[in-house]
Amino acid sequence: MTVTAVFSRCTWPLLCAIALVAGASTTARAEAGRAAIDERIERLLSQMTVAEKIGQLAQVNADEGKISGKLRAAIKAGEVGSVLNAVDVATVNELQRLAVKESRLGIPLLMGRDVIHGFKTVLPIPLGQAAAWNPDLVQEGARMAALEAAASGVNWTFAPMIDVARDPRWGRIAESFGEDPYLASVLGVASIRGFQGDDLSRPGAIAACAKHFVGYGASEGGRDYGFVGIPDVELRNVHMPPFKAAVDAGVATFMAAFSDVNGVPASGNRFLMRTVLRDEWHFPGLVVSDWESIIDMTVHGFAASKKDAAFEALSAGIDMEMASTAYRDYLAKLLAEKRIDQDTLDTAVRNVLRVKFRLGLFERTVTDPSAYPAVASAANFALARRLTTQSLVLLQNRNEVLPLARASLRSLAVIGPMADDDYEQLGTWIFDGDPALSRTPLHAIREMAGPHVAVRHVRAMETTRTRTTAAFADAVAAASSADAAVLFLGEESILSGEAHSRANIDLPGNQMDLVRAVKSAGKPVIVVILAGRPLTIEPILAAADAVVYAWHPGVMAGPAIADILFGVESPSGKLPVTFPRMVGQVPIYYAHRNTGKPPIPSAFVHIDDIKVRTPQTGMKNKSQYLDAGYEPLYPFGYGLSYTRFAYSDIEVVPARARVGVPVTVRAVVKNVGKVEADEVAQLYVQDVVGSITRPVRELKGFQRVHLKPGESREVSFQLSADDLAFYGRDMQRATEPGAFHAWIGGSSTAELRADFELTAN
């Protein structure tokens, strides 16, 4: 394929460029490798019975650490293609031995596991990783997780989750890279590169899985598994780009969403799985269902029976069935009845075998942990600390209460249910994590503060949901006798993640009252929030001098947070998702469309200030809430630092160009404060008039720069026609000529703007 051909199919050309450069030298070798694999697949396929073919499409759940007689027999009979959730290396080796040595054709197993944010070394939840806006570290983190998992025999992770998530009620927002298609694409590709490396057959590389295709992040009402009603054009412009980028990056597998997408569950959705994924994007890999999502189609009311569900799923192009057994139970019958043809079955089997060959499983079925780097090593912890430190977002810092001055500090009160909880700091999906490895904030603060600082700890609440205030007096007493109080609040791991949506996203329990009580002690109050989602924290802003948002930070929460509190590092995290003031504003995201009557400050009257008998049209008709206004609490891309950055000299070169000629947008960013720090410079673009309306701004690039006080740097972004393309009224992807605005700055509300124009010729 020519470079131009690749680019013409590419959603994010920059990402494709990286893929191309990395791949160029190996293209010929890769093609030869592909041909050899195809030959091996056909040879194997020609020897397989129908039962063995159907067996390859079955993914069976293992009871952790145990191999039941049933599983043993099924593997020996060639009736299992993949096992999920076996991670004890002896068990994994035995399972592979059964498949390779005791089944007729000796086909090894795909060993799947949810390695979502680390394996033994638990990294921040993906939403936290996204807040670091650092693809290199995300890639390193995935690489580290792959090596740790591979040492246990895992060869397939169900990650990254690249669903665009714009609803903080949805528990799985924790597993996402946030609300923006571009950010999710860049970080998704980084994870895939980390998991898979350059060559999937190298030891330590594991197959990644782009999930959940597609629209799952838009579950109605933020309720997990909810209906997804999104026009196709919106699916293509917002929800599909990260998945397209994953295909371009060579992701080995895809997972279907649980969702009913516009009336057709993803697991039976031929438009998504065949028309888009296979026919348009030419995805050559394996598509797995989600957990029992094939038989769930009977519950959706889309299939009358499990047999019909199997028919719909295979016809749609779902190659492997996770956990349920509709394929095992009905595919042979469907084949005999000629509802399914041989070719459809064979194609699915080929897709499974291709991943096995790409992974080199036929050559290497025994896992020897001693051949891998140590898990949970000092090096892995150091990486986790770097990533966590960069993921912390400083939301408020009144009177520069942070960083705490270690030299003059004599005493500190450390308060709250999340200060010393080695489990809850890890977040959702930590099957293989070990709380005993966690470094908690309390421990790290004690260590970093040193012996001359008296650190007093009061948990004050049993959990974040505790309603009694019995221990508040101790917390207030501790704060009164300290130089400052640091509260660790938030929500436990179990309050986010799959099937853990919340309708009220306030700080649970009596945490609000705890902040107010501690404030009454009259000392500086610093609040650190550990949570799996944006919470509606506006009420604490008056009582807290500083607020740090830590997400669920993982194993190195303590040292990373202490680094920020004591100013060893300046905060540099930026929000990957908009923070609402009230849950009723949801969905609220920066890349929204304008309305015909957008809000303006002069037309806003708060509900409390509306005069009696104001005539209906007396307040001007604007798109806003009377009680919440029209702005979020914090915008996408926002995050403070211990220094300040000034942006200037923005220009677009050329400012007028033909569609197809790349333009460069650049600006100068200067550290005008007193400490050296990282800044994430962000580029946003608006296509002013389109054949369909366009978002008011869209992220098109970002760059993390490190600047010393007084230092400045030019940040520069090249935009190709493809970067500005979108699916328009005719459902064709194109770049439309016309006027564009470009902003560069430190958040999605950046004001420094330059304009450019693209002409048709």
Check binding of 357 to ligand NOJ (CB under 6 A): no
Q: Provide the minimum distance between the beta carbon of 251 and ligand NOJ in the complex, in angstroms, as a whole number.
A: 14
Check binding of 211 to ligand NOJ (CB under 6 A): yes
- Compose the 457-496 pattern: x for residues touching ligand NOJ by CB under 6 A, - for all others: ----------------------------------------
Active-site entry in 290, 319, 432, 722: 290
Residue whose C-alpha is closest to residue 109's, from 88, 68, 79, 89: 79
Nearer to ligand NOJ, 114 or 312 (CB): 114
Nearer to ligand NOJ, 158 or 702 (CB): 158
Report cis status (omega within 30 of 0) of the bond before 212. Answer: yes
Nearer to ligand NOJ, 211 or 356 (CB): 211
Annotated active-site residue 649? The verdict is no
**Other CB atoms within 10 Å distance of the CB of residue 664:** 13
What angle, rounded to 10 degrees, do the helices at 441-449 and 557-565 form? 50
**Other CB atoms within 10 Å distance of the CB of residue 3:** 11
β partners of residue 647: 669
CA atoms within 13 A on the CB side of 155: 27
Q: Provide the minimum distance between the beta carbon of 112 and ligand NOJ in the complex, in angstroms, as a whole number.
A: 7
Check binding of 498 to ligand NOJ (CB under 6 A): yes
Q: Provide the minimum distance between the beta carbon of 210 and ligand NOJ in the complex, in angstroms, as a whole number.
A: 11
CA atoms within 13 A on the CB side of 122: 28
CA atoms within 13 A on the CB side of 84: 21
Nearer to ligand NOJ, 221 or 660 (CB): 221
Which residue is closest to ligand NOJ by CB? 158
Residues 6+ apart with CB under 8 A from 177: 126, 127, 129, 130, 160, 161, 162, 183, 184, 187, 188, 242, 576
- Compose the 273-302 pattern: x for residues touching ligand NOJ by CB under 6 A, - for all others: -----------------xx-----------
Q: Provide the minimum distance between the beta carbon of 639 and ligand NOJ in the complex, in angstroms, as a whole number.
A: 28
Q: For residue 464, what is the DSSP state? A: T
Which residue shows structure tokens 């007729």? 104
Which H or E run contains 89? helix 89-102
Residues 6+ apart with CB under 8 A from 279: none
Give Rg (Cα) of the chain.
27
Both tokens of residue 511? 């945490």
Nearer to ligand NOJ, 258 or 642 (CB): 258
- Pairwise CA distance, residues 600 & 479, whole Å: 42
- Compose the 68-107 pattern: x for residues touching ligand NOJ by CB under 6 A, - for all others: ----------------------------------------
Nearer to ligand NOJ, 316 or 667 (CB): 316
The single residue among 158, 254, 647, 727 that binds ligand NOJ, judged by CB under 6 A, is 158
Nearer to ligand NOJ, 352 or 444 (CB): 352
CA diameter of the chain: 84
Cα-based distances in Å from 419 to 129, 255, 267, 298? 21, 36, 42, 45
CA atoms within 13 A on the CB side of 334: 25
The footprint of ligand NOJ on residues 732-761 (CB under 6 A) is none
Nearer to ligand NOJ, 156 or 549 (CB): 156
The H-assigned helical ranges of 134-259 are 135-150, 181-196, 232-234, 241-248
Q: Provide the minimum distance between the beta carbon of 292 and ligand NOJ in the complex, in angstroms, as a whole number.
A: 9
- Pairwise CA distance, residues 258 & 217, whole Å: 11
- Pairwise CA distance, residues 754 & 651, whole Å: 6
Check binding of 114 to ligand NOJ (CB under 6 A): yes
Evaluate whether 131 touches 391 at the Cβ level (below 8 Å).
yes
Check binding of 156 to ligand NOJ (CB under 6 A): no
Nearer to ligand NOJ, 323 or 675 (CB): 323
Q: Provide the minimum distance between the beta carbon of 291 and ligand NOJ in the complex, in angstroms, as a whole number.
A: 4
Q: In 654-729, at which residue ranges do the beta strands (DSSP E only) sit? A: 656-658, 663-671, 677-687, 698-707, 712-719, 726-727
Q: Provide the minimum distance between the beta carbon of 114 and ligand NOJ in the complex, in angstroms, as a whole number.
A: 5
Nearer to ligand NOJ, 308 or 498 (CB): 498
Q: Provide the minimum distance between the beta carbon of 213 and ligand NOJ in the complex, in angstroms, as a whole number.
A: 11
Both tokens of residue 678? 């990282």
> What is the CA 25 to chain-centroid distance, rounded?
31
Cα-based distances in Å from 738 to 8, 498, 686, 742, 759? 21, 43, 11, 13, 6
Check binding of 117 to ligand NOJ (CB under 6 A): no
Q: Provide the minimum distance between the beta carbon of 217 and ligand NOJ in the complex, in angstroms, as a whole number.
A: 12
Q: Provide the minimum distance between the beta carbon of 562 and ligand NOJ in the complex, in angstroms, as a whole number.
A: 33
**Other CB atoms within 10 Å distance of the CB of residue 473:** 12
Residue whose C-alpha is closest to residue 20's, from 217, 12, 498: 12
Size of the site for ligand NOJ (CB under 6 A): 6
Residues with catalytic roles: 290
Residues of the shown chain interacting with ligand NOJ in the complex, contacts defined by CB under 6 A: 114, 158, 211, 290-291, 498
